[in-house]
Structure 1
Amino acid sequence: MNQRAADRDHLAYWRRNLRYLGGLLAIWALVSFGAGILFAGALDTIRIPGTGFPLGFWFAQQGSIYVFVVLIFVYVFLMNRLDREFDVDERDDEAAA
């Protein structure tokens, strides 16, 4: 592979990585700031069954943390797939030989 093609692959990899990061951070911001603060009043009209807690309170206290953990797993999945696509995944060299 010549240097120009390698540079294009490198740029394409990082563009996609940044697109993933931007999208996932936007979801996290929407959930943590939006659902926990901006829309908390409207969400408080909904009660979580079995607990009686308002949904807005739950998002502010627990929900945004759960969403963040799920987003970490989504990021790992997306990056592993991206690494395989660009052939930069972490493989055991002895097992591959």
Structure 2
Amino acid sequence: MDDGGPTERHDKRVLALKAGLLAAWALVAFGVPWFARDLQFSVLGWPFSYWFVAQGALLAFIAIVVVHAWAMGRLAPEDAVVDDGA
């Protein structure tokens, strides 16, 4: 009986989704702060680069989680096992 352990083979669509979201995470986590230093004006006394990275990254990470949940919800019904209660 297959218990879905760590040796379970994953669908290529799921792996592509994870790879794409990981790339988006890396871009937000490392790429955006690197280039945000060039934004040299202030908003309410704080540098705009601070607001851009601090608030924008948080919103981007939330968006990544929402996209992952939505996409997995669409992929999961195709692979779901029906339990008839027996």
TM-score range, shorter chain: 0.5 to 0.7
Query: How big is the shift at 1:33?
Result: 1.0
- Give the CA RMSD over aligned residues: 2.9
Q: Deviations over 1:47-75 (max 9, x none)?
A: 66xx4644421233222122111111110
Q: Which of 80, 85, 88 does residue 80 from structure 2 map onto?
A: 88
SS at match of 1:39: helix
CA distance in 1, matches of 2:31, 2:84: 45
CA distance in 2, matches of 1:23, 1:61: 22
Relative distance call for 1:66 and 1:80 in structure 2 (3 A) is same
Q: Which runs of 5+ in 2 are unaligned?
A: 1-7
Query: How big is the shift at 1:32?
Result: 1.9
TM-score of the superposition, structure 2-length normalised?
0.66
State yes or no: 1:24 paired with 2:21.
Answer: yes
- Which residue pairs with 1:70 in the alignment? 63
Higher strand share: 2
TM-score of the superposition, structure 1-length normalised?
0.60
Higher helix share: 1
Q: Which of 27, 40, 49 does residue 45 from structure 1 map onto?
A: 40
Q: Runs ≥4 in structure 1, deviation > 6 angstroms? A: none
Aligned residues: 78
